[in-house]
Amino acid sequence: MTAIFYTQSMAHPPQPPGGLTDKHEHFFFYGVLAVLALRAFTKAQWRRVGAATALGAIVFSSLYGVVNELHQRFVPGRSYEVADMIANATGASVAVVLVWAWSIIRRRSETHDAL
């Protein structure tokens, strides 16, 4: 969270490499933030990943994205964009859904191995 806040506080942040846009960065980094939040909410236990923890991680990350976008209004040379907020929420959602699906697969394989 500190790295995201620091970068979004810069008047001229570094540009993404290659043909990537800042939307790709938002998607990726808020996806990582959401997965880390999910890990914290579940105390790093696959069996604890469920609808409530997944939704909590998505909401937490998305709201952090909104707060940071609003914060950028006060940073000289920066502005907020609704498209960035959408990229934040989409990245968080996709990442959490993928991890949730992986946790279901992993739980089923552990249960199958135990039989």
Q: Is the model more confident about 79 or about 31?
A: 31
Residue 114 has pLDDT above 60, yes or no: no
| Mean pLDDT calculated for residue range 75-104 | 93
**CB-based burial label for 62 (10 Å; 0-12, 13-18, 19+):** buried
Please give the pLDDT value at position 115.
52
How confident is the model over 53-70, as pLDDT tens digits?
Answer: 999 999 999 999 999 999
Please give the pLDDT value at position 20.
92
Please give the pLDDT value at position 4.
82
Global pTM reads: 0.86
How confident is the model over 6-58, as pLDDT tens digits?
Answer: 787 887 788 888 889 999 999 999 999 999 999 999 998 878 889 999 999 99
Closest among 34, 36, 69, 84 to 55, alpha carbons compared:
34
Token code pair at residue 84: 């960035």
